[in-house]
Structure 1
C-alpha cells in the first residue's frame, strides 16, 4: 500500500516539475497577465487532481490525467496569433467541448486519430522544435544559469532519467532566486486564487489555436494514453475518459487553464507492476497523485511568480529539455514511412516557421500543407497502381 501511494506521489511531482514552467510560458505567450497565468496553472492542478481522484475511484482502474504538455508548447508557438487572453480562453473552451464531443460521438474521435501519422507527428515536431533549441540559445545569453542547468540535466539523464528535468528545473529556480532575490515573494500572484476570464470566441483564434490544441491533445496525448493503459492490460472505455477530461478542461478554461488529457509517461509509473503487483490495487496510486496535484496547486502562484521573474529564455530552455524526448519521438514517427518523408518535412517546416496567414497560425497551415503534399505526391504510375515514392533512395 505504501509503495503504491509513493508511486502516485512520484508521478505527480515529476509531471508538475517537468512542465509547469512551460504552462506558464504558454499562457503568457497568448496574453495572460501574471495573475491569469497563476490562475490557469492553479485551475489545471485542480482539474487534474480531481479527475485523478474521482474517475479511478469510480472505475477502479489506474486511469490518470495530466495537462496537455504539447498543448502548452503550442501556446508558446502561437504567440504571434493572439495576445488577447479572452480570445485564447474561448479557444480553450472550444477545445474542451470538442474533446467532450469526441467521447459522445466516436466518429469525431476516429476522424482526429485517423489523421495520417506523418502529418500529425510532423506538426507536433514543428511545434516543439523552436522550444527544443532554446537550451542552446540560453547557454549563450544566460550562461550562469543555463550551463549548470544543462549539465545537471545531462548527468541525471544518464544516472536517473526520471529526475533529470525536475533537477534541471531546481537548478534554474535557484539561479533565478539568486538573480531576482526576495522580490519574487512580493508578487501579488503568489497567493493562489482563481481568476475568471470572460471568453471571447474569435473565429481566427479558434481555427489557429483551438483546433490545433484539440488535435495535439487528442493525437499527442490521449491516443498514447490509451495505448499505455492497454500495454498494462487496462482497456479503458473512451466515453467516460474523454467526456470527463473534456468537461474538466472546459471548467479550467474559464479560469485560464488550456486543457487536460489522459496521462501517458506518468501513467506508466502508476499502471505498471512497479506501483503494485496486484493490478486491482494500482488505482490507489492515481488517487494519491490526484491529492498531490491538489496540494501542488496551492503553490501555483509561487511557481508562476518564479517563472515571471526569470529571463524568458531560461524558462523556454527548461521546457526544451523536458520536450526533447517528445521531439525525438515525433520526428521518428513522422519520418518512419519513406514514402511520406517529403510530406512530413513540408508539414514540419511550415509549422516550425511560425508564420501566420490571414490571422491563422502555422500549426493549422502545417496541417493544410501536409494534406496537400500527401495528395499531390501520392505515388502512382500510369496504370494507377503504386509507384516508387518521390524522394526515395535505395538506402532508405
Structure 2
C-alpha cells in the first residue's frame, strides 16, 4: 500500500496509509514554503511531459478550430499565443498560490465543438462567444457550485472516471504496434527497465529513446520548421445573441463537463483538496483577457495533468506543485513561439506520440484503478463509471467522462438506498 506524508497540526510530518488519509489541503504550512527547498528535477520533468502530451495530442485540433472560425495565419498564431500565455500564467499562479499542482489547459473538446459550429460565423462574433463562455466560468467560480458538486462525488467514482479517461491511452501503446512494432516495443522495453533501476527518470528516458529512434529512422523531419516569435493580434469581439447562445453556452457546458469536472477529479484522486472556486475564477479571468487575441478558453487540465499530480512527479505530494509551475514556464515559452513550436510538436511521428503518452500515463492509470476498486466499496458504481468513460461515447455533444460519472452516481444512489 502506497504511503503518503501529510502535515499534522503540530507541523511534524506523519506517514499514514493512503486509504485513510485526508486530501492534502491547499495552502498548508510545512513543505511548499520555498522554491529552493521544494525544487526537484523529477517535478520539472513531469511538468514538461504534461505540456508535451497536451500539445502533441491536440494542437492540430486547435488549428482546425481557428480555421473554422475564418482566422488567417496571423490570427491563428495569435490564437496559439493567447492560449500559451494564458495557460502559463494560470498554471504558475495557481500552483504557487495554493502549493498544489494545478495545471491548466485549452479545451480540446471545446475546440472540436467549434470546428462544427463556427463555419459561417464571423471571426469577431466567435470571439464574442468566447467572452460569454469566460463570464459563465467566472460566475460558476464565484458561486462555488463546482465545489459543492465535487464534494458529493464518492472518491471511488472519481478514480474510476480517471481510469476510464486514461485507459485508451494505455491501449494505444499496443495498438500502435500493429502499424509499426519497433518503436512502441523499444519504448516499452525502455520503460520497464527504467522503472526497475531508475524509476524517477523513467519517462524522460523513454522520451529520449523515442526521439533518438525517430531521428535515426528518418521519421522526425524538422527541416521545414523556422524559429520565430509570435505577434499577438487584437480583434474587437462582436456580440450576436444567436452566436452567443449557439456557441458560447455550449462551449461553456462542454468545458465544464469534459475538462473542469474530470480535472478536479484527477487532482482529488491524487490526494489533494483542489481550490475549485479559485481555479475557475483564475481561468475565467484569463479566458476573458485572452479572448480578443483568439483564445477560445482556458480550464483545468484533465489528461495532461496526470503526470504532475502523480508520484512520478515527487514522492512527497506537498512538493508536486513544482510540476505545475514548470508546466507554466513551458507554456509561456511555447506561447511566445506560437506556431513555430506547434509545428515542431505536429512533426513528431504519430506512433511516438501514442506510445509516449500511454507510458507517461501508465502509473496514474494504475493508481486510478487501485483507488476505484480497492477495499470493501460496492464495485457496481465504479465499474459502470469506468466502462462508460472508457467507451469514449459522445451524447448530445458531451463526452463519455461526464456520462460515466452521471451513470455511476445513479447506480451509487440506487445501491445506497436499497433496504
Verify same fold: TM over 0.5.
yes
Give the aligned CA root-mean-square deviation in angstroms.
4.8
> In structure 2, what is the Cα distance between the partners aligned to 1:83 and 1:249?
19
1:169 to 204, 207, 219: 207
Q: Deviations over 1:284-307 (max 9, x none)?
A: x98787556534545664553243
> In structure 2, what is the Cα distance between the partners aligned to 1:329 and 1:162?
16
Higher mean C-alpha displacement, 81-90 vs 105-114: 81-90
Partner in structure 2 of residue 219 of structure 1: 265
Q: In structure 1, the residue corresponding to 2:264 is in which secondary structure?
A: helix
**TM-score, length basis structure 1:** 0.68
Partner in structure 2 of residue 389 of structure 1: none
CA contact (8 A) 1:356 1:362 kept: yes
2:170 to 107, 127, 132: 132
Aligned pairs for 1:87-236 within 5 A = 100-179=138-217, 183-187=221-225, 192=230, 201=247, 207-208=253-254, 210-221=256-267, 223=268, 227-228=271-272
> In structure 2, what is the Cα distance between the partners aligned to 1:218 and 1:2?
25
1:4 to 21, 36, 50: 36
2:89 to 21, 44, 50: 50
Give the number of aligned pairs. Answer: 359
Partner in structure 2 of residue 264 of structure 1: 309
Q: In structure 1, the residue corresponding to 2:416 is in which secondary structure?
A: coil
Partner in structure 2 of residue 24 of structure 1: 56
Measured at CA, do residues 167 and 95 of structure 1 come closer, stay the same or move farther in structure 2, by a change above 3 Å?
Answer: farther
> In structure 1, what is the Cα distance between the partners aligned to 2:140 and 2:112?
29
Shift of 1:332: 1.8
Partner in structure 2 of residue 255 of structure 1: 295
Shift of 1:130: 0.8
1:319 to 335, 357, 372: 357
CA contact (8 A) 2:59 2:346 kept: no
> In structure 1, what is the Cα distance between the partners aligned to 2:405 and 2:318?
39
Shift of 1:118: 2.8
Q: In structure 1, the residue corresponding to 2:103 is in which secondary structure?
A: strand
Q: Deviations over 1:232-260 (max 9, x none)?
A: xxxx9765555224433555674256534
Shift of 1:15: 0.9
**TM-score, length basis structure 2:** 0.65
Measured at CA, do residues 19 and 241 of structure 1 come closer, stay the same or move farther in structure 2, by a change above 3 Å?
Answer: closer
Measured at CA, do residues 353 and 271 of structure 1 come closer, stay the same or move farther in structure 2, by a change above 3 Å?
Answer: closer
Partner in structure 2 of residue 390 of structure 1: none
Measured at CA, do residues 6 and 347 of structure 1 come closer, stay the same or move farther in structure 2, by a change above 3 Å?
Answer: closer
CA contact (8 A) 1:21 1:307 kept: no
> In structure 1, what is the Cα distance between the partners aligned to 2:311 and 2:81?
19
Matched, 1:349 2:387: yes
Matched, 1:365 2:403: yes
> In structure 2, what is the Cα distance between the partners aligned to 1:86 and 1:266?
41
CA contact (8 A) 1:41 1:256 kept: no
Shift of 1:150: 2.1
Return 5+ residue gaps in structure 1 as ranges: 231-235, 276-281, 382-396
Q: In structure 1, the residue corresponding to 2:39 is in which secondary structure?
A: helix
> In structure 2, what is the Cα distance between the partners aligned to 1:89 and 1:142?
42
Q: In structure 2, the residue corresponding to 1:26 is in which secondary structure?
A: helix
CA contact (8 A) 2:66 2:79 kept: no
